[in-house]
Amino acid sequence: MQRRKNAEFSKNTMEEVVHLQKSRCEHCKRKLTPEEYTFHHILPLWYATIFFPDLSCAALKNVLNCQLLCRACHDLEHGQEFPKSKYTPKKHQYREKAEELRKYDKKVSSLSGLKRLLSS
């Protein structure tokens, strides 16, 4: 299995997610301090690598694929607290997220193509 390099979120992405979620955990809605921030990939990287290899690393590190969670909810999400997390999305939700990220990839590639065309 091929692993994606540099799969962490950028500082700008994390700041934007904190702003969008108003420093609240996406699941329990608790107000978080910066020390409590945990950033979570909605579409897991391991899942995307296997089932959606066409998605770019940029799409997977985008705000669209990032959630701010507290440590407890992040542990729940990864099944570290309970065998089956109530927050874990179903496969159809992963497919929907992948489609959303594909649209992002397509938009970015057409914008970069347009920039190349205008600069030549």
All domains in the chain, ordered by first residue: 11-110 (3.40.1800)
pLDDT digit string, tens, across residues 18-60: 999 999 999 999 999 999 999 999 888 888 888 888 888 888 8
CA 88 to chain centre: 14
- Residues with Cβ within 8 Å of residue 48, at least 6 apart in sequence: 4, 55, 60, 98
Q: Which helix (H) or strand (E) holds 91?
A: helix 91-119
Tokens of 1: 């299995």
Q: Where are the alpha helices (DSSP H) in 5-90?
A: 11-20, 45-51, 57-60, 71-77
pLDDT digit string, tens, across residues 43-102: 888 888 888 888 888 888 888 899 999 998 888 887 754 444 455 556 667 777 778 888
Q: Which helix (H) or strand (E) holds 39?
A: strand 38-41
Q: Residue 3 has what pLDDT?
A: 36
Q: In this model, does residue 1 exceed pLDDT 50?
A: no
Q: How far apart, in whole angstroms, are the C-alpha atoms of residue 60 and residue 77?
A: 17
Gyration radius (Cα) of the chain, Å: 16
Longest dimension (CA), the chain: 56
pTM reported for the whole predicted model: 0.68
